[in-house]
């Protein structure tokens, strides 16, 4: 089992990352409290295993793997290099950065009408829906769709991906655009269609070249190989009672497939280590150890509210914006550096605070059938996530108090 980082949790006293350390004893006590929180989920059989990482700037403060791949006693233990089906966390590690890469290249604009790039989309009230609307979930598209509905109208020789894109383009609005926020997998699948058509390559290829290779994210992919699949945390049990690994859990993303094009809403696989690199890049304004991945102004699109006035919950470009406890880390002193995060249905979560440059990565396979829930999924882990956030934020508050006493 990996060792903890024993350095004290540090707090960014300013945007320039002036570091103020918490005493080693108080930080250690606070970080050790995370053990009990994660183990509670294991004891309640909400997930068979988990990986939790907390870090700041260029250092890992806490990193630990808990439990096993399944509830069986002879199941492989969770490791720091276990690969997880990210589910909807794919939206901010895959779909969103792919769109931002094209925006940086001048090939796409947030204010472009979707119908400019997706043939047939501008019907049934959707003529003025924009790229920004898709990425902030205010487009008017409904939350989800049954792939069986799409399959019934798929044309001879038409790929699953193209059938989905054509179906979404023809849908009526579920609500007037920009009047409310309805989180929708259709938004990011539509966004992926636009990105891949403009780029002329799949999300997997685009992101590998443009983002993942620069960050040395070696296990992040829509197309895990045989060796990687062996390291995947299972998300289901097959007809032969064997754990299912490397098969996308989300029904729409699984139907879409990643053989040629890749879904923007789910279907991405990654590890805690790879996500650390990604988080640090965002918290350092788009740079990682001297390598420029995104421009600072591009990163600001992810940490600034972009939902229309009066529309809640708040969203940035791609991300949820945390404005209330237990997830908000700071008072709103800088509107361009808000605390952001995203979850995935399989049991994944990424939390980033630009002010302190602290991040939380919590990965589980809570969807694996649980003995405590009548053979179904392990139930909600919202309370576990909330308690992790509270514990980390309490350390941030303690650091601020210590800073004030030292002045």
Q: What is the pLDDT of residue 29?
A: 61
Query: Tell me, what's the pLDDT at 16?
Result: 26
- DSSP letter assigned to residue 40: H
| Residue 156 half-sphere exposure toward CB, CA atoms < 13 A | 0
Residue 132 to residue 122: CA distance in whole angstroms: 15
The first and second tokens of residue 88, run together, are: 């909807």
The whole-angstrom separation of Cα 168 and Cα 164 is 6
Q: What pLDDT does residue 401 have?
A: 64
Pick the closest to residue 129 from 197, 207, 182, 91 (CA basis): 182
Q: Is the peptide bond preceding residue 383 cis, with omega within 30 degrees of 0?
A: no
How many Cβ atoms are within 10 Å of 127's Cβ, its own excluded?
12
According to the model, what pLDDT value does residue 330 have?
A: 73
Q: Are 270 and 83 in contact (CB under 8 A)?
A: yes
CB-CB neighbours of 291 under 10 Å: 12
Ordered by where they begin, the domains of the chain are 10-406 (3.40.710.10)
Q: Give the global pTM.
A: 0.92
User: Would you write out the chain's pLDDT as a tens digit for each of its 407 residues?
Assistant: 333 333 333 322 222 222 334 445 555 566 789 999 999 999 999 999 999 999 998 899 999 999 999 999 999 999 999 999 999 999 999 999 999 999 999 999 999 999 999 999 999 999 999 999 999 999 999 999 999 999 999 999 999 999 999 999 999 999 999 999 999 999 999 999 999 999 999 999 999 999 999 999 999 999 999 999 999 999 999 999 999 999 999 999 999 999 999 999 999 999 999 999 999 999 999 999 999 999 999 999 999 999 999 999 999 999 999 999 999 987 777 999 999 999 999 999 999 999 999 999 999 999 999 999 987 899 999 999 999 999 999 988 776 666 666 65
């Amino acid at each position: 089992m990996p060792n903890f980082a024993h350095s004290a949790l540090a707090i960014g006293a300013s945007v320039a990352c002036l570091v103020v350390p918490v005493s080693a004893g108080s930080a250690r006590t606070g970080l050790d409290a995370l053990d009990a929180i994660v183990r509670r989920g294991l004891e309640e059989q909400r997930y068979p295993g988990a990986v939790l990482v907390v870090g700041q700037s260029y250092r890992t403060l806490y990193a630990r793997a808990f439990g096993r791949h399944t509830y069986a006693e002879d199941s492989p233990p969770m490791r720091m290099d276990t690969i997880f089906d990210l589910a909807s966390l794919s939206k901010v590690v895959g779909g969103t950065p792919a769109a931002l890469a094209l925006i940086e290249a001048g090939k796409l604009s947030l204010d472009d009408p979707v119908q400019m790039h997706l043939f047939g989309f501008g019907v049934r009230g959707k003529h003025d829906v924009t790229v920004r609307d898709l990425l902030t979930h205010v487009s008017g598209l409904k939350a989800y769709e049954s792939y069986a509905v799409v399959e019934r109208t798929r044309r001879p020789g038409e790929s699953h991906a193209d059938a989905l894109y054509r179906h979404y383009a023809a849908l009526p609005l579920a609500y007037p655009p920009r009047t409310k926020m309805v989180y929708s997998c259709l938004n990011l699948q539509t966004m992926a269609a636009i990105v891949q058509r403009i780029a002329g390559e799949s999300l997997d290829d685009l992101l590998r070249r443009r983002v993942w290779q620069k960050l040395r994210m070696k296990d992040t992919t829509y197309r895990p190989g045989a060796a990687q699949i062996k390291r995947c945390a299972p998300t289901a049990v097959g007809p032969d009672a064997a754990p299912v690994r490397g098969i996308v859990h989300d029904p729409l993303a699984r139907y879409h497939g990643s053989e040629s094009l890749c879904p923007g809403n789910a279907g991405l696989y990654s590890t805690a280590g790879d996500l650390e690199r990604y988080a640090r890049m965002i918290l350092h304004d788009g740079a990682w150890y001297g390598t420029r991945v995104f421009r600072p102004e591009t990163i600001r699109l992810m940490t600034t509210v972009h939902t229309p006035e009066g529309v809640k919950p708040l969203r940035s470009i791609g991300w949820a914006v945390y404005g209330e406890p237990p997830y908000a880390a700071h008072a709103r002193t800088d509107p361009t550096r808000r605390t952001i995060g995203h979850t995935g249905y399989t049991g994944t979560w990424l939390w980033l605070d630009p002010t302190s440059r602290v991040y939380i990565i919590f990965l589980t396979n809570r969807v694996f059938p649980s003995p405590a829930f009548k053979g179904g999924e392990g139930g909600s882990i919202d309370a576990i996530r909330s308690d992790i956030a509270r514990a980390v934020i309490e350390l941030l508050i303690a650091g601020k108090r210590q800073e004030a006493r030292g002045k």
